[in-house]
């Protein structure tokens, strides 16, 4: 991770085909395309790879989450349960629809704690949105049981976890809807892009229409298409889809490289008794894009993170103090800072997060160090990196 590390001729060839036609838009201009439909081709490949019935590409992972929620009718005042540890796009997509983000604790998987989810459900709850952070998954069996019990939608945010699986099923394909991001720093990149996957025909029909101004996409004349409901513009371009089409063909290659590098580092750190690795639910397999481990205390984790940097080990993150990925620095959400007025449903219902107790999340994230696994490393480099990591961590314990 990320896929841009291994850009090559396959990506260039796909992009050149688009440039040769001059058609950069995914819809229309049939006569000029010379038979090239990159977005449609990538959707077909993702549908096959993810073992689902439907895929629709959009402009980003954030757009994918927004469109997925909208496709299921989520709107003003509806509550969406999400984790305290994620990227800000999770609550941005919820708020964009006038819905309300309900933050709950994570556990030792660094994803949603099912018990915390159960305790957060109200009569306004409509969706449980686990975020498969840093390449590994939530306890999906437990979350599915909760959703079934309460009649809730399960939306998998698999934006950081493409290539991972749970009980033999690709992450993203297990819930009612799944979302991916293909931005520049993801395992598979389009430069910018995202996708919604589902087995639900109704959600799919809503998705492709909502993301294109409400176009019904019936017939051969785009200007004559009907608009059954309001929509917005979340389209992907053919150029972006072309990059992704080359990259999806390389997903298994990328995952294999990540697994090799991840395994070398994990085997080395396993020799340090104080290092405990994140829990991967039974039957789950990470996509190996990050190596996540816990140290005995918050102080130990901070010292080790600093020592890793001093020892020349880049790409290791201490999310507890990160501005974008952990609730402690989401002051814009906590203070409801917005350029325009937030909807009344949000203002009246949004919890007062200045008084929230997320100490259960702090227990795990405060002791966690998360190390990016790069595709471009030679095997010799990884062994050298493992040695430096061990030295840095040991000197702080």
Say if residues 305 and 322 touch (Cβ distance below 8 Å): no
List the beta bridge partners of residue 181.
194
- Rounded (10°) angle between helices 251-269 and 379-394: 30
Token digits of residue 29 = 């201009």
Specify whether 186 is catalytic: yes
Could you tell me what percent of the chain has a pLDDT over 70?
A: 100
Which domains can be identified in the chain, with CATH numbers?
3-250 (3.40.640.10), 252-394 (3.90.1150.10)
Say if residues 186 and 248 touch (Cβ distance below 8 Å): no
Alpha helices in 298-394 (DSSP H): 298-310, 331-334, 344-349, 359-365, 379-394
* Cβ-Cβ contacts under 8 Å for 291 (sequence gap 6 or more): 262, 265, 266, 269, 277, 370, 371, 373
List the beta bridge partners of residue 285.
165
Question: Residue 28: what pLDDT?
Answer: 96
Q: What is the CA radius of gyration of the chain?
A: 21
pLDDT bin (cut points 50, 70, 90) of residue 154 is: very high
Say if residues 60 and 196 touch (Cβ distance below 8 Å): no
H or E element in which residue 93 lies:
helix 89-96
Say if residues 317 and 309 touch (Cβ distance below 8 Å): no
Say if residues 237 and 5 touch (Cβ distance below 8 Å): no
- Rounded (10°) angle between helices 379-394 and 298-310: 130
Sign of CA dihedral 365, 368, 369, 375: negative
The active-site residue, picked from 38, 49, 186, 374, is 186
Number of Cβ within a 10 Å radius of residue 273: 8
At 244-259, the pLDDT tens digits run: 999 999 999 999 999 9
Question: Residue 32: what pLDDT?
Answer: 96
Token digits of residue 104 = 């709950």
Report how far apart, in Å, the C-alpha atoms of 160 and of each of 29, 226, 282, 304, 349 are: 34, 35, 20, 25, 29
Number of Cβ within a 10 Å radius of residue 358: 20
Q: For strand 177-181 and strand 194-198, is the pairing parallel, antiparallel, or unpaired? A: antiparallel
C-alpha closest to that of 98 among 125, 76, 78: 76
Question: Residue 84: what pLDDT?
Answer: 98
Mean pLDDT for the chain overall:
97
Residues 232, 235: Cα–Cα separation, whole Å: 9
Question: Residue 102: what pLDDT?
Answer: 98
Report how far apart, in Å, the C-alpha atoms of 6 and of each of 12, 285, 331 are: 12, 23, 37
Strand order in the sheet with 165-166: 169-170, 165-166, 284-285
Asked whether residue 202 carries a pLDDT value surpassing 90, the answer given is yes
Q: What is the pLDDT averaged over residues 374-379?
A: 97
Q: What is the pLDDT averaged over residues 296-306?
A: 98
Could you tell me what percent of the chain has a pLDDT over 90?
A: 100
Give all strands (DSSP E) within the chain, no chain letters.
54-58, 79-83, 100-104, 125-128, 153-157, 165-166, 169-170, 177-181, 194-198, 276-277, 284-285, 290-294, 316-317, 368-372
Say if residues 124 and 132 touch (Cβ distance below 8 Å): no
Half-sphere exposure of 268 (CA within 13 A, CB side): 19
Report how far apart, in Å, the C-alpha atoms of 369 and of each of 70, 310, 316, 387 are: 35, 15, 7, 17
pLDDT bin (cut points 50, 70, 90) of residue 1 is: confident
List the beta bridge partners of residue 370.
292, 317
Report how far apart, in Å, the C-alpha atoms of 95 and of each of 36, 203, 327 are: 37, 20, 16
Residues 277, 319: Cα–Cα separation, whole Å: 15
Report how far apart, in Å, the C-alpha atoms of 224 and of each of 27, 33, 208, 216 are: 13, 20, 17, 10
């Amino acid at each position: 991770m990320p896929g841009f590390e291994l850009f090559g001729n396959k990506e260039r060839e796909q992009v050149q085909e688009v440039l040769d036609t001059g058609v950069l838009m995914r819809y229309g201009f049939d006569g000029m395309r010379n038979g090239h439909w990159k977005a449609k081709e990538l959707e077909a490949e993702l549908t096959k790879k993810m073992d689902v019935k439907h895929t629709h590409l959009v402009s980003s992972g954030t757009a994918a989450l927004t469109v997925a929620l909208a496709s299921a009718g989520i709107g003003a005042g509806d509550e969406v349960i999400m984790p305290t540890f994620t990227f800000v796009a999770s609550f941005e997509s919820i708020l964009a629809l006038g819905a309300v983000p309900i933050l709950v604790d994570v556990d030792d998987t660094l994803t949603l704690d099912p018990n915390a989810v159960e305790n957060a459900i109200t009569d306004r709850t409509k969706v449980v949105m686990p975020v498969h952070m840093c390449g590994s998954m939530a306890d999906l069996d437990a979350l599915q049981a909760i959703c079934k019990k309460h009649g809730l939608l399960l939306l998998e945010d698999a934006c950081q976890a493409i290539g991972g699986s749970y009980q033999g099923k690709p992450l993203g394909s297990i819930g009612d809807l799944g979302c991916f991001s293909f931005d520049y720093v993801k395992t598979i990149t389009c430069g910018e892009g995202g996708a919604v996957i589902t087995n639900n025909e109704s959600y799919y029909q809503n998705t492709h229409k909502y993301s294109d101004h409400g176009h019904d996409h019936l017939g051969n004349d785009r200007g004559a298409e009907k608009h059954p409901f309001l929509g917005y513009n979340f389209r992907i371009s053919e150029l972006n889809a072309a990059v992704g089409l080359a990259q999806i063909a390389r997903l298994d290659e990328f995952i294999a490289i990540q697994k090799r590098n991840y395994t070398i580092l994990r085997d080395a750190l396993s020799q340090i008794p104080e290092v405990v690795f994140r829990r991967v639910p039974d039957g789950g397999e990470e996509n190996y894009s990050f190596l996540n481990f816990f140290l005995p205390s918050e102080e130990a984790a901070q010292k080790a993170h600093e020592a890793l940097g001093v020892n020349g080990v880049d790409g290791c993150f201490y999310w507890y103090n990160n501005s974008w990925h952990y609730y402690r620095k989401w002051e814009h959400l906590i203070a409801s800072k917005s350029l325009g007025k937030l909807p009344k449903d949000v203002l009246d219902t949004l919890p007062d997060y200045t008084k929230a107790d997320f100490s259960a999340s702090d227990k795990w994230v405060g002791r966690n160090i998360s190390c990016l696994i790069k595709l471009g490393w030679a095997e010799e480099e990884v062994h050298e990196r493992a040695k430096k990591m061990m030295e840095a961590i040991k000197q702080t314990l």
